[in-house]
Structure 1
Amino acid sequence: MDMRRIVAVLAEEAEQQIQDQVWQVEPGDRALALKAEAGLRDAVGPADVQETLPEIKRLEHLRETLAVLAVSLARTHGRLAWFLSGALNALEPVLRWRALPADRSGTFGTVLPSPDEYTEAEDAVRRLQDVMAQISKVTTTIRPGPESTERE
């Protein structure tokens, strides 16, 4: 499964959990999601901008997104942490990418990604940006509890 698809599945699950009120988004989650969304947008911009950058810059920006997600993960628990963990896992291939050609020595298992792989990862990050923005805007609605049926 590619990065875009993994992130799409994560996004759908998050949206469903929020809609079903399984995930009660707390004010701290909203604030952290807003900060993460801003960090992701600072790192990876619109497709027309990213695609004009040299590969080394594109890789740098993708690595920055991993840092934003990792720092955010370190600052939360519960469903937001689980979501961020899934996002990091989806983008894990970026950790093995390199932008520079190798000489005759080893590359520590790194690979040169294709232009399509850069685009796929950047698209996944943009989807994450959108989800984080949605999470930051969730207002908590308290469900009414079951009415008491006890009689005196």
Structure 2
Amino acid sequence: MGMRQDIEELAKEAEWQIRERTWVPSANDHTVAARVAADLRAAVGTPQSQQELLAVTRLGHLREALAAVAIGLAYVHGPMAWFLGAAATALTPVLHWRALPTRHDHTFGAVSPSLQQYTEAEEAIRRLQDTLARLATA
């Protein structure tokens, strides 16, 4: 599965759990969800605005989004932590991407993603942001 599909599956499961009341988000879950959703929205803007950026800037925004998820994870427990942990895991490929050219093969395993991979990662983050925004008000 790709990053976007992984996040889609997580989002569907979270939405199902909340709808079926197997997960009743706490007040803290709502607060963290709202904060992470806002941070994700700020990190990864609209598709048009992202496509106009240099690859190094796009990659920076993706890493910023992953950091926002990880920071949110530090403030929760239970289902919200499991959800954010799985989301962070799904987004980890961006940690192995590089946007800068290299003069040698020593890149610690970093690879240059395609434009399609940038777009897929940004779409995954937007889906996650949408889910968290709804969770914040659930």
RMSD: 0.6
User: 1:60, CA displacement in angstroms?
Assistant: 0.2
| Counterpart in the other structure of 2:113 | 113
| Counterpart in the other structure of 2:40 | 40
Where 2:52 maps in the other structure, the secondary structure is coil
TM-score after normalising by structure 2:
0.98
1:78-99: CA deviations, max 9, x gaps?
A: 0010000111111110000000
Where 2:135 maps in the other structure, the secondary structure is helix
Matched, 1:71 2:75: no
Query: Higher helix proportion, which one?
Result: 2
Unaligned runs of 5+ in 2: none
* Identity of matched residues, %: 49
How many residues in Structure 1 have an aligned counterpart in Structure 2? 138
| Counterpart in the other structure of 1:84 | 84
| Counterpart in the other structure of 2:59 | 59
Matched, 1:5 2:5: yes
Work out which of the two has the higher radius of gyration on C-alpha atoms and give 1 or 2: 1
Q: 2: distance between equivalents of 1:90 and 1:71?
A: 16
Where 1:91 maps in the other structure, the secondary structure is helix
User: 1:105, CA displacement in angstroms?
Assistant: 4.7
User: 1:104, CA displacement in angstroms?
Assistant: 1.7
Unaligned runs of 5+ in 1: 139-152
